[in-house]
Structure 1
C-alpha cells in the first residue's frame, strides 16, 4: 500500500511526519482516527523522527531468513523500551523498536507465531516471531491498535535510523547503558 498524503505536524516542539492511509491519520497516537489531523496539531505521545521528503520502503527478515517483510512507510519513531517484558525478550537490555502505522507493514514470506501477554499497563501485548528460529519480529498492543512496533535489529539496514527516546526507564537495569541525551519517559508517552 502506498501513502495517499503526507506532511508534518508539531509535537514536543519538533516537526513530525504524518501519513494518511484512507481515513487513518497515522500520527494520531491517541487512537482517535475519526478526525483528520491538521498540520501543526499535537497528537498525544509522538516521539518524532526526522522529517524527509517522502516515505521510503524498508525491508527486514528474521535470523534464518524464513520470514521477510517490507515497511511501506518511514518509521514514526525509534525508541528503546526498558520494560521488564522487553528485557526478557531481548535477553537483558532494552528492546530497540521502531513504530509505524499498521497498514505500512507487509509480510512478504513466512509465517509469524504469536505469544500474547498482559503488559505492565494492563493491556494485551501480542509478540510475533518466526516459528522456525524464534526471532522477534514485531509487537502489537491493544492499547495502540493502529500501529506495529518492529524490532529494529530485524531491519536490513537498522544503522540508518536515529533513536529518539528511552521508554520505561523506571524499569531499566542499572548495568544497562542508556543514552541520557534521548527523551526519557518513566513509563511511556
Structure 2
C-alpha cells in the first residue's frame, strides 16, 4: 500500500494531463468501481459565484434534518481530503490510498484528469458510506463536467460570470448554456433569477 503523501503526489501529477472536458473517462472510472453514483440521491450545483456557500448551506440544512450528507466541493484549502466529506468529516486518508491503489491500472491506462479521479473517489466513498443524499458541486462548467453523470433530485445554478473562457466560451450566454448543461428532464432546477 502506498503512503498518503505518495498517493497525493500521484493524484496531483494527473494535473499534467490538463483539464479534460467530456464524460468518457469518468464513465470508465465509475464503471470500474461499480457505478456508485447510481446508489444515492444528489443535488447538483453549477455556477460561477456562490457554489461553495450554497453547497455548505444545503449540507447544513439537510444534516440538521437528520440526513447523512455527502459533500463534494473544490478546491480544498489545506488538505485534499477536504473536498470529500460526510457530515462535515473529511474522507480518511486510508480511503484515498486504497481507492487510488486499486484503481491505478485503470488510471494509468486511460490517463484521466485529476478532477475525474477525484470525482470517482467521492462517488464511491458516498456509496460505501451509504449517504442519504449528496451535494455535488461541478468543477468547471456543467455540460461536460465529470460530475454530470448524475441524475439528481434537483439542480441549482448560482450566479454566472465570465469564468474559464478558454474552455466554456467567451460570452455570458455561451457560458450560461454550458453551466445549464446540468439541467435534466423532469428534474427541478433552481436559479437566482
Pairwise TM-score range, normalised by the shorter structure: under 0.3
TM-score by length of 1: 0.27
Larger RCO (alpha carbons 8 Å, 6+ apart): 2
TM-score by length of 2: 0.26
Greater helix proportion:
2
